[in-house]
Amino acid sequence: MAKVITHSEQIDFTLSELEEMPIPGKVLVVNPEHFDVKYVINPHMEGHIGDINKDVAMKEWIRLKEAYQKLGFYVHEVPGHPDFPDMVFCANQSLPNITADGTKQVVMSVMHAPERKGEVPFIQEVYEESSYDIVHLDESKFTEFEGMGDAIWHFGKRLIWGGYGYRTTSDVYEHISNTFNTPVIALELVDEKFYHLDTCLCILNTETALIYPKAFTEDGLKKIRTIFSNVIEANQHEAEELFACNATCPDGKNVFIQEGCTMVNDALVRSGFEVHQFDTAEYLKSGGSVFCMKMLLW
Ligand code: ARG
Protein backbone atom coordinates (compact mmCIF):
# COMPACT_ATOMS: atom_id res chain seq x y z
CA MET A 1 0.00 0.00 0.00
CA ALA A 2 1.92 3.01 -1.28
CA LYS A 3 0.54 6.42 -0.33
CA VAL A 4 1.52 9.57 1.48
CA ILE A 5 -0.86 10.91 4.10
CA THR A 6 -0.49 14.68 4.21
CA HIS A 7 -3.70 15.45 6.13
CA SER A 8 -5.12 13.60 9.15
CA GLU A 9 -8.46 13.11 7.39
CA GLN A 10 -6.75 10.96 4.77
CA ILE A 11 -5.96 8.25 7.33
CA ASP A 12 -8.31 5.52 6.12
CA PHE A 13 -6.71 2.51 7.82
CA THR A 14 -6.27 1.18 11.33
CA LEU A 15 -3.09 -0.33 12.72
CA SER A 16 -4.55 -3.83 12.62
CA GLU A 17 -4.97 -3.51 8.85
CA LEU A 18 -1.26 -2.86 8.29
CA GLU A 19 1.20 -5.62 7.44
CA GLU A 20 3.49 -6.82 10.21
CA MET A 21 7.20 -5.98 10.07
CA PRO A 22 9.88 -8.08 11.79
CA ILE A 23 11.63 -6.41 14.72
CA PRO A 24 15.30 -5.72 13.80
CA GLY A 25 17.88 -7.82 15.64
CA LYS A 26 21.06 -5.88 14.80
CA VAL A 27 22.33 -2.50 15.87
CA LEU A 28 24.81 -0.52 13.79
CA VAL A 29 27.02 1.86 15.77
CA VAL A 30 29.91 4.09 14.69
CA ASN A 31 32.87 4.38 17.04
CA PRO A 32 33.06 7.98 18.35
CA GLU A 33 36.87 8.16 18.24
CA HIS A 34 36.52 11.23 15.96
CA PHE A 35 33.31 12.64 17.45
CA ASP A 36 33.53 16.39 17.99
CA VAL A 37 31.64 19.65 17.53
CA LYS A 38 33.53 21.44 14.74
CA TYR A 39 30.70 23.40 13.08
CA VAL A 40 27.18 24.53 13.93
CA ILE A 41 24.32 23.03 11.90
CA ASN A 42 21.62 22.93 14.59
CA PRO A 43 20.81 25.27 17.52
CA HIS A 44 22.08 22.81 20.15
CA MET A 45 25.63 22.96 18.75
CA GLU A 46 25.92 26.70 19.32
CA GLY A 47 28.65 27.52 21.85
CA HIS A 48 29.98 23.97 21.84
CA ILE A 49 32.72 24.06 19.21
CA GLY A 50 35.77 22.40 20.74
CA ASP A 51 33.83 21.63 23.92
CA ILE A 52 33.68 17.81 23.73
CA ASN A 53 35.40 15.74 26.38
CA LYS A 54 36.56 12.82 24.22
CA ASP A 55 37.17 10.42 27.09
CA VAL A 56 33.76 11.04 28.56
CA ALA A 57 32.12 10.75 25.13
CA MET A 58 33.80 7.37 24.60
CA LYS A 59 32.67 6.10 28.01
CA GLU A 60 29.07 7.23 27.42
CA TRP A 61 29.00 5.51 24.03
CA ILE A 62 30.50 2.23 25.32
CA ARG A 63 27.84 1.98 28.04
CA LEU A 64 25.12 2.39 25.46
CA LYS A 65 26.68 -0.11 23.07
CA GLU A 66 26.99 -2.71 25.82
CA ALA A 67 23.36 -2.23 26.80
CA TYR A 68 22.22 -3.38 23.34
CA GLN A 69 24.42 -6.46 23.70
CA LYS A 70 22.89 -7.19 27.11
CA LEU A 71 19.40 -6.98 25.59
CA GLY A 72 20.45 -9.62 23.06
CA PHE A 73 21.06 -7.43 20.00
CA TYR A 74 23.95 -8.17 17.66
CA VAL A 75 26.09 -5.03 17.60
CA HIS A 76 27.84 -4.20 14.32
CA GLU A 77 30.49 -1.59 15.06
CA VAL A 78 32.31 0.40 12.36
CA PRO A 79 35.16 2.88 12.83
CA GLY A 80 34.66 6.64 12.73
CA HIS A 81 36.37 8.93 10.23
CA PRO A 82 38.61 11.91 11.08
CA ASP A 83 36.84 14.14 8.51
CA PHE A 84 33.35 13.43 9.83
CA PRO A 85 32.83 14.35 13.49
CA ASP A 86 29.05 13.67 13.30
CA MET A 87 29.28 10.18 11.83
CA VAL A 88 28.54 8.64 15.25
CA PHE A 89 24.92 9.72 14.60
CA CYS A 90 24.32 6.81 12.27
CA ALA A 91 20.52 7.11 12.24
CA ASN A 92 20.90 9.83 9.65
CA GLN A 93 22.65 8.47 6.56
CA SER A 94 20.10 5.84 5.52
CA LEU A 95 16.63 4.30 5.80
CA PRO A 96 16.57 0.49 5.63
CA ASN A 97 13.62 -1.76 4.82
CA ILE A 98 12.84 -5.47 4.71
CA THR A 99 10.14 -6.71 2.34
CA ALA A 100 7.61 -9.46 3.09
CA ASP A 101 9.79 -11.96 1.15
CA GLY A 102 12.88 -11.00 3.18
CA THR A 103 14.59 -8.77 0.60
CA LYS A 104 16.63 -6.06 2.32
CA GLN A 105 16.71 -2.60 0.79
CA VAL A 106 18.11 0.75 1.85
CA VAL A 107 17.57 4.30 0.67
CA MET A 108 20.76 6.31 1.16
CA SER A 109 20.38 9.87 2.47
CA VAL A 110 21.11 13.18 0.80
CA MET A 111 22.49 15.08 3.78
CA HIS A 112 21.34 18.66 4.31
CA ALA A 113 24.68 20.03 5.54
CA PRO A 114 27.71 19.90 3.20
CA GLU A 115 29.81 18.96 6.24
CA ARG A 116 27.97 15.62 6.57
CA LYS A 117 27.55 14.55 2.93
CA GLY A 118 30.78 12.53 2.90
CA GLU A 119 29.51 10.21 5.67
CA VAL A 120 27.02 8.47 3.39
CA PRO A 121 29.43 6.29 1.33
CA PHE A 122 30.98 4.89 4.52
CA ILE A 123 27.60 3.82 5.83
CA GLN A 124 26.68 2.46 2.40
CA GLU A 125 29.61 0.03 2.69
CA VAL A 126 27.96 -1.56 5.73
CA TYR A 127 24.83 -2.25 3.70
CA GLU A 128 26.81 -3.62 0.78
CA GLU A 129 28.52 -6.07 3.12
CA SER A 130 25.14 -7.05 4.61
CA SER A 131 23.52 -7.78 1.19
CA TYR A 132 21.07 -4.89 1.09
CA ASP A 133 19.85 -3.53 -2.28
CA ILE A 134 21.08 0.06 -2.37
CA VAL A 135 18.72 2.79 -3.60
CA HIS A 136 20.07 6.27 -4.36
CA LEU A 137 17.79 9.26 -4.58
CA ASP A 138 18.06 11.41 -7.70
CA GLU A 139 19.81 14.38 -6.11
CA SER A 140 18.66 16.74 -8.86
CA LYS A 141 15.07 16.11 -7.67
CA PHE A 142 15.45 15.29 -3.99
CA THR A 143 17.84 17.69 -2.37
CA GLU A 144 17.50 16.73 1.31
CA PHE A 145 16.71 13.50 3.13
CA GLU A 146 18.27 12.47 6.43
CA GLY A 147 17.29 8.83 6.78
CA MET A 148 15.94 7.64 10.10
CA GLY A 149 16.54 11.05 11.63
CA ASP A 150 13.30 11.98 9.90
CA ALA A 151 11.75 8.77 8.52
CA ILE A 152 10.84 6.44 11.37
CA TRP A 153 9.33 2.97 11.09
CA HIS A 154 6.24 2.30 13.17
CA PHE A 155 6.98 -0.47 15.68
CA GLY A 156 6.30 -3.85 14.06
CA LYS A 157 4.10 -2.44 11.28
CA ARG A 158 4.61 -1.53 7.64
CA LEU A 159 4.16 2.21 8.15
CA ILE A 160 6.64 5.08 8.07
CA TRP A 161 6.33 8.39 9.90
CA GLY A 162 8.01 11.03 7.72
CA GLY A 163 9.19 14.28 9.29
CA TYR A 164 10.12 17.24 7.12
CA GLY A 165 10.95 20.92 7.34
CA TYR A 166 14.57 21.28 8.41
CA ARG A 167 16.65 18.33 7.13
CA THR A 168 14.26 16.58 4.74
CA THR A 169 11.94 17.93 2.07
CA SER A 170 8.38 16.57 1.97
CA ASP A 171 8.48 15.55 -1.72
CA VAL A 172 10.88 12.68 -0.96
CA TYR A 173 8.15 10.68 0.81
CA GLU A 174 6.18 9.94 -2.38
CA HIS A 175 9.30 8.29 -3.74
CA ILE A 176 10.04 6.38 -0.53
CA SER A 177 6.44 5.23 -0.24
CA ASN A 178 6.58 3.82 -3.79
CA THR A 179 10.05 2.30 -3.39
CA PHE A 180 9.09 0.47 -0.18
CA ASN A 181 5.40 -0.02 -1.10
CA THR A 182 4.60 1.41 2.32
CA PRO A 183 2.28 4.16 3.52
CA VAL A 184 3.98 7.26 4.89
CA ILE A 185 2.34 9.67 7.31
CA ALA A 186 4.04 13.02 6.74
CA LEU A 187 4.63 15.29 9.74
CA GLU A 188 5.75 18.88 9.39
CA LEU A 189 8.25 20.05 12.00
CA VAL A 190 7.82 23.63 13.18
CA ASP A 191 10.46 24.29 15.86
CA GLU A 192 14.10 24.38 14.78
CA LYS A 193 15.28 22.98 18.11
CA PHE A 194 13.44 19.81 17.04
CA TYR A 195 14.99 19.69 13.60
CA HIS A 196 14.67 15.92 13.10
CA LEU A 197 11.54 13.87 13.72
CA ASP A 198 13.54 11.67 16.10
CA THR A 199 13.98 14.66 18.44
CA CYS A 200 10.22 15.00 19.04
CA LEU A 201 8.64 11.59 18.28
CA CYS A 202 9.73 8.32 19.82
CA ILE A 203 7.74 5.25 18.83
CA LEU A 204 7.84 2.95 21.84
CA ASN A 205 5.61 0.09 20.74
CA THR A 206 2.66 -0.44 18.40
CA GLU A 207 0.26 1.66 20.49
CA THR A 208 2.54 4.07 22.33
CA ALA A 209 4.40 7.20 21.26
CA LEU A 210 6.41 9.72 23.29
CA ILE A 211 6.19 13.21 21.78
CA TYR A 212 6.98 16.86 22.31
CA PRO A 213 3.69 18.41 21.11
CA LYS A 214 4.96 21.92 20.34
CA ALA A 215 7.28 20.60 17.63
CA PHE A 216 4.24 19.66 15.49
CA THR A 217 1.35 21.39 13.76
CA GLU A 218 -2.17 20.85 15.06
CA ASP A 219 -2.95 18.48 12.20
CA GLY A 220 0.32 16.63 12.83
CA LEU A 221 -0.81 16.01 16.40
CA LYS A 222 -4.15 14.74 15.08
CA LYS A 223 -2.35 12.24 12.86
CA ILE A 224 -0.31 11.00 15.83
CA ARG A 225 -3.39 10.71 18.06
CA THR A 226 -5.40 8.94 15.34
CA ILE A 227 -2.87 6.11 15.14
CA PHE A 228 -1.45 5.86 18.69
CA SER A 229 -3.91 5.05 21.48
CA ASN A 230 -1.30 6.00 24.12
CA VAL A 231 0.57 9.29 23.65
CA ILE A 232 3.02 10.37 26.34
CA GLU A 233 3.96 14.06 26.28
CA ALA A 234 7.37 15.32 27.35
CA ASN A 235 7.63 18.75 28.92
CA GLN A 236 9.83 21.46 27.43
CA HIS A 237 12.80 20.95 29.75
CA GLU A 238 13.01 17.19 29.24
CA ALA A 239 12.38 17.42 25.49
CA GLU A 240 14.64 20.36 24.71
CA GLU A 241 17.48 20.06 27.22
CA LEU A 242 17.52 16.29 27.78
CA PHE A 243 16.28 15.05 24.39
CA ALA A 244 13.71 12.79 26.10
CA CYS A 245 12.01 12.03 22.76
CA ASN A 246 15.32 10.87 21.28
CA ALA A 247 14.93 7.76 23.41
CA THR A 248 14.71 4.34 21.81
CA CYS A 249 12.72 1.22 22.58
CA PRO A 250 14.25 -1.43 20.32
CA ASP A 251 12.17 -4.35 21.62
CA GLY A 252 8.91 -2.60 22.51
CA LYS A 253 9.58 -3.00 26.25
CA ASN A 254 12.98 -1.61 27.30
CA VAL A 255 13.44 2.14 26.84
CA PHE A 256 16.94 3.64 26.62
CA ILE A 257 16.79 7.33 27.47
CA GLN A 258 19.01 10.23 28.53
CA GLU A 259 19.23 10.30 32.33
CA GLY A 260 17.17 12.77 34.33
CA CYS A 261 13.93 12.69 32.31
CA THR A 262 11.98 12.31 35.55
CA MET A 263 8.47 13.08 34.37
CA VAL A 264 8.76 11.11 31.14
CA ASN A 265 10.24 8.16 33.03
CA ASP A 266 7.32 8.13 35.49
CA ALA A 267 4.90 8.06 32.55
CA LEU A 268 6.90 5.30 30.85
CA VAL A 269 6.82 3.14 33.97
CA ARG A 270 3.07 3.74 34.36
CA SER A 271 2.64 2.47 30.77
CA GLY A 272 4.57 -0.71 31.62
CA PHE A 273 7.97 0.09 30.09
CA GLU A 274 11.31 -0.67 31.67
CA VAL A 275 13.46 2.45 31.79
CA HIS A 276 17.26 2.38 31.38
CA GLN A 277 18.95 5.75 31.82
CA PHE A 278 22.15 6.75 30.03
CA ASP A 279 24.31 9.82 30.22
CA THR A 280 24.71 11.20 26.70
CA ALA A 281 25.72 14.70 27.83
CA GLU A 282 28.61 15.01 25.35
CA TYR A 283 26.31 14.11 22.44
CA LEU A 284 23.57 16.51 23.58
CA LYS A 285 26.08 19.29 22.84
CA SER A 286 25.89 18.22 19.20
CA GLY A 287 22.09 17.95 19.17
CA GLY A 288 21.86 14.18 19.46
CA SER A 289 21.20 11.48 22.03
CA VAL A 290 20.30 7.80 22.29
CA PHE A 291 18.07 7.24 19.24
CA CYS A 292 20.33 8.80 16.64
CA MET A 293 23.52 7.11 17.92
CA LYS A 294 22.50 3.85 16.27
CA MET A 295 20.70 2.26 13.35
CA LEU A 296 18.57 -0.83 13.78
CA LEU A 297 19.08 -3.38 11.02
CA TRP A 298 17.59 -6.67 9.92
N1 ARG B 1 25.22 17.29 14.95
C2 ARG B 1 24.35 16.38 14.26
C3 ARG B 1 23.57 17.13 13.19
O4 ARG B 1 23.20 18.24 13.41
C5 ARG B 1 23.44 15.71 15.21
C6 ARG B 1 22.53 14.70 14.56
C7 ARG B 1 21.65 14.03 15.54
N8 ARG B 1 20.79 13.13 14.90
C9 ARG B 1 19.47 13.03 15.05
N10 ARG B 1 18.85 12.18 14.32
N11 ARG B 1 18.80 13.79 15.84
O12 ARG B 1 23.33 16.64 12.12
Chain segment 96-109, per-residue pLDDT in tens: 999 999 999 999 99
Nearest Cα neighbor of 219 from 17, 35, 38, 8 is 8
Q: What is the mean pLDDT of residues 67-85?
A: 98
* Confidence grade of residue 180 (pLDDT, cut at 50, 70, 90): very high
Q: What is the mean pLDDT of residues 34-55?
A: 98
Q: Which of 86, 87, 192, 282 to mutate to test the pocket of ligand 1 (most atoms within 8 A of CB)?
A: 86
The count of domains in the chain is 1
Sign of CA dihedral 280, 62, 53, 88: negative
Task: Give pLDDT, residue 171.
Answer: 98
Task: Give pLDDT, residue 1.
Answer: 87
Q: On the CB side of 136, how many CA atoms lie within 13 Å of its CA?
A: 7
* Ligand 1 centroid – CA 90 distance (Å): 9
Mean pLDDT of the chain: 98
Q: Tell me the residue range of the domain where 94 lies.
A: 3-13+20-297
Q: Which of 34, 87, 89 to mutate to test the pocket of ligand 1 (most atoms within 8 A of CB)?
A: 89
* Ligand 1 centroid – CA 132 distance (Å): 24
Task: Give pLDDT, residue 175.
Answer: 98
Nearest Cα neighbor of 208 from 245, 148, 259, 155 is 155
Is the pLDDT at 295 greater than 90, yes or no?
yes
Whether pTM > 0.85 for this model: the answer is yes
Q: What is the mean pLDDT of residues 175-182?
A: 98
**Ligand 1 atom nearest 112 alpha carbon:** 12
**In 196-261, which ranges are continuous DSSP H helix?**
218-227, 236
% of residues, the chain, pLDDT over 70: 100
Q: What is the CATH number of the domain that holds 110?
A: 3.75.10.10
Q: On the CB side of 148, how many CA atoms lie within 13 Å of its CA?
A: 25
Residue of minimum CA distance from atom 1 in ligand 1: 286
Q: Collapsing DSSP states into helix, strand and coil, what is residue 270?
A: helix
